[in-house]
Amino acid sequence: MVKITFTDYEGTSRDVDANVGESVMEAAIRNNIPGIDADCGGACACATCHVYVAPDFLAKTGEQEAMEQSMLDFADGVQENSRLSCQIQVSEELEGLSVTTPESQH
Amino acid sequence: MSADQKIVILGAGQAGGQAAVSLRQFGFEGEITLVGDELAPPYQRPPLSKAYLKGKLDRERLFLKPITFYEDSKINLVTQVSATKIDRAAKTVELSNGESIAYDTLIIATGARPRALPVPGADLGHVFDLRSLDDIDMLKPMVRGGHHLLIVGAGYIGLEAASAARELGLDVTVLEMADRVLARVTSPVMSDFYQRTHETHGVKIITGAMLSELKGDDDGKVKSGVLKSGEEIMCDLVLVGIGVIPNIEFVAEAGVATKNGILVDRDCRTNDPSIYAIGDCAHRPLVHYGRDGRLESVHNAIEQGKIAAAHITEKPRPNEDVPWFWSDQYDVKLQIAGLSQDYDEAVVRGDPLSQNFAVFYFRAGRLISVDAVNSPAEFLTAKKLIAANADISPDTVADTTISMKDIMASALAKQG
C-alpha cells in the first residue's frame, strides 16, 4: 500500500491507500475522490483526470508519453506540474505522493 | 428532495451507476435502489473489446466503484434482476424476481441489447455477442492462437475485437454487409484507413457480404459461415457486432413517450414528471446540433447520469459537452468529437496514408465533427470549436502549416 494525498481546489485533503501497479486515477476513483472524473476510464482519451503533482514528486511519476503531452497541451489550467493521473503508475517510490485536483475537469 | 424519498434506478451500467454516485455526491439522503440484470456491479464496457479481452485488465479493475462502495454509500444494489413492468399510477415497478418495488422517482438506465443475427445457426455454440462481461468471460478462453474467428459486422466493436484477436494470434475474418467498413458511422476516407490498417495486420475483410447461414458441427458448435454468394468461411468462433436495440419496450408499454429511445428533455425528464431516462436508452436533445437523437457512448452515460441527479437534487444542470467517443485498435487511437451525420464536406488534415491525421466534417460551412487518428490536439481543439460554434473554414484546418493552437486562437478571437 502506498499513501497518496489528494487535495481539492478548495484545500481539503484526503489520504488514500493505493495499490502498487494501479494508476493514481484508479486509486482516486476507488476511494471516491472528488475532482477527478476519468470519464474514459484510463484510456488517455479524455483529459478528465488532470492533477497537479507536488514538485518534489514530479520526477518520480515518470516520463510523459506523446499522447499525454498532447492531451495536456490542450487541457484547461495546465501548469508545469500537470499530469494525467491515469498515466501515473503507483510504485513504492511514490509513498507520500501529494497531488492537487483542478477546479473542473471539463 | 427530502430524506424519506425513494429513488429507483433501473439498469446498473455506466449511466445507472453514475446516477447513483452523483445523487449521493449532490447530497441526496433518501433511499437509492440500483437494479441491474447482470451479476457484476456497474462496470466500464469499453475495455471489454480491448484491454480486458486481451487479458491485460483484471475484472475488478473494470468496476466503476469497488463493491464495498455501494454498502458504504447506502445504495441498495440489486443484481441479476430486471424490470418487467412499470405501474405509473401506483408508482411501482415489477421485477423479474416477482417482487414489486415502490418509487417516488424512477430513473431508467436500461441501456441497449445486441441486435440478434437474423440467420439460421445464430443460436449455435461458440457464437457470441460483444456486450456484457459475461459474453467476454465466456469467449475469452477461446481467444488465443489457433482459432478461426469470424466477426459479423465491421463497426467499432467488431473492429476492436478483430484487433485484439489478431494481437492474440487468431485467424480473423470480418464480414460487412455495406460496401465499406464503418459505413454507418464515418466517412469513406476513415473506412479506407481502417480497412487498410486491418489488412496490414492480417485480417481478412469481406465487404458487401450477405451472411445467409451459420453451419454447426455434430456437437452443435459453429463451424462455418455461408454467404449468399455461396462462399463458405470456416471458423470455430463467431462474434456478432451488428448494432444494438434500446431496452425500452416495457417503458413504452407504461405510456412513457418513446421514439427510437425514451424521449427526454435537457434535464433527462420524460413526459412523466416522476420518471427520468439516461444513457443508451434515452433519446435526448443534442444542443450543439439543434436536433435530438440517441447516443451510445460513455460520455453520454456519464453526462446524463449527472444531469438527472442534478435535476432531482435541484442543483444547476451540469455542462452538456459536445458528444465524444474513442476507439483503440492496434496502436491507433481514434478520438471523435461531435456527430458527423449529415456532413456535406469532409476535409483531411494530414496524410491519411500515415498514422497521424484527422478528418474535419462540415455542414453548411460549420464544423460539426472530427475524427482524429493519433491526433489529440485536433480532437481537443475541435471539441472546443464545436462547443463554441466557432467560425472556421475548411481551408484553414486543411493547412498543416498552421498549428491547432493558432487555429483555435484565431477562431475564438473572431467570436470576440
- Extents of the domains making up chain B: 6-113+244-312, 127-240, 331-415
Among the listed residues B72, B113, B382, B60, the one whose alpha carbon sits nearest the alpha carbon of residue B241: B113
Among the listed residues B325, B246, B345, the one whose alpha carbon sits nearest the alpha carbon of residue B293: B246
Give yes or no for a contact between B163 and B330, defined as CB atoms under 8 angstroms apart.
yes
- Please report the pLDDT score of residue B145 as a whole number: 87
pLDDT tens-digit profile of A78-106?
A: 999 999 999 999 999 999 999 999 988 87
Average pLDDT on A5-24 reads 95
Give yes or no for a contact between B33 and B6, defined as CB atoms under 8 angstroms apart.
yes
Asked if B301 is an interface residue toward chain A (Cβ–Cβ < 8 A), one would say no
Residue B218 CB burial class (10 angstroms; 0-12, 13-18, ≥19): exposed
Residues 335-394 (B) with a CB less than 8 A from some CB of A: 335, 374-377, 380-381, 384
Q: Within a 10 A sphere around the Cβ of B293, how many other Cβ atoms?
A: 16
What does B294-363 look like in DSSP terms, one character per residue? E--SHHHHHHHHHHHHHHHTTPPPPP-PPPEEEEEETTEEEEEEE--TT-SEEEEEE-TTSS-EEEEEEE
- Please report the pLDDT score of residue B1 as a whole number: 63
Task: Please report whether residue A106 resides in a domain.
Answer: no
What residues in B contact A40, CB-CB < 8 Å?
46, 298, 326
Task: Please report whether residue A34 resides in a domain.
Answer: yes
- Grid look-up 476519468 returns A38
- Please report the pLDDT score of residue B301 as a whole number: 98
Q: Do A67 and B376 touch (CB under 8 A)?
A: yes
Task: Please report whether residue A105 resides in a domain.
Answer: no
- Please report the pLDDT score of residue B343 as a whole number: 97
**A12: closest CA of chain B, how far (Å):** 16
C-alpha cell at B77: 444494489
Among the listed residues A78, A62, A39, A63, the one whose alpha carbon sits nearest the alpha carbon of residue B405: A78
Element of type H or E holding B378 = helix B376-387
Give yes or no for a contact between B100 and B8, defined as CB atoms under 8 angstroms apart.
no
- Split into its structural domains, chain A has a count of 1
Asked if A32 is an interface residue toward chain B (Cβ–Cβ < 8 A), one would say yes
* Relative orientation angle of helices B188-200 and B156-167, to the nearest 10 degrees: 20
Identify which of B61, B64, B326 has the shortest CB distance to residue A45.
B326
Give yes or no for a contact between B32 and B308, defined as CB atoms under 8 angstroms apart.
no
Domain with residue A70: its CATH number is 3.10.20.30
Tell me the percentage of chain A whose pLDDT exceeds 70. 100
Give yes or no for a contact between B341 and B347, defined as CB atoms under 8 angstroms apart.
no
Q: Do A106 and B321 touch (CB under 8 A)?
A: yes
- Taking the C-alpha atoms of residue B140 and residue B244, their distance in angstroms, rounded to an integer, is 21
Do B331-415 and B6-113+244-312 fall under one CATH topology? no
Q: Domain B6-113+244-312 has what CATH class?
A: alpha beta
Asked if A20 is an interface residue toward chain B (Cβ–Cβ < 8 A), one would say no
Average pLDDT on A41-59 reads 92
- Taking the C-alpha atoms of residue B240 and residue A6, their distance in angstroms, rounded to an integer, is 43
Chain pair A-B, CB pairs under 8 angstroms: 55
Task: Please report whether residue A9 resides in a domain.
Answer: yes
Amino acid at A89: Q
What residues in B contact A44, CB-CB < 8 Å?
333
- Taking the C-alpha atoms of residue A67 and residue A45, their distance in angstroms, rounded to an integer, is 9
Nearest CA in chain B to A28: B65
Identify which of A34, A73, A106 has the shortest CB distance to residue B377.
A73
Q: What angle do CA B177, B182, B183 make, to 5 degrees?
A: 65
Asked if A26 is an interface residue toward chain B (Cβ–Cβ < 8 A), one would say yes
Asked if B323 is an interface residue toward chain A (Cβ–Cβ < 8 A), one would say no
Gyration radius of chain B over CA positions: 22
What residues in B contact A26, CB-CB < 8 Å?
61
Nearest CA in chain A to B377: A70
- Taking the C-alpha atoms of residue A40 and residue B149, their distance in angstroms, rounded to an integer, is 28
> With bands split at pLDDT 50, 70 and 90, how would you rate the model's confidence at A8?
very high
Q: Do B377 and A75 touch (CB under 8 A)?
A: no
Beta strand segments in B124-203, E: 127-129, 148-152, 171-175
- Please report the pLDDT score of residue B416 as a whole number: 65
- Please report the pLDDT score of residue A75 as a whole number: 84
Q: Do A40 and B374 touch (CB under 8 A)?
A: no
Asked if B105 is an interface residue toward chain A (Cβ–Cβ < 8 A), one would say no
Q: Do A47 and B377 touch (CB under 8 A)?
A: no
Q: Within a 10 A sphere around the Cβ of B229, how many other Cβ atoms?
A: 11
Asked if B25 is an interface residue toward chain A (Cβ–Cβ < 8 A), one would say yes
- Please report the pLDDT score of residue B273 as a whole number: 97
**CATH topology assigned to domain B331-415:** Enolase-like; domain 1 (3.30.390)
Identify which of B321, B333, B381 has the shortest CB distance to residue A45.
B333
- Taking the C-alpha atoms of residue A90 and residue B395, their distance in angstroms, rounded to an integer, is 45
Q: What is the mean pLDDT of each run of 10 residues along chain B (416 residues)?
A: 89 98 96 97 93 90 94 97 98 98 98 97 96 93 92 97 96 98 97 98 98 97 97 97 97 97 98 98 97 97 98 96 96 97 96 96 97 96 94 95 93 82
Say yes or no: domain B127-240 is CATH 3.30.365.10. no
Q: Which residues span the domain enclosing A64?
A: 2-100
Full-model pTM:
0.95
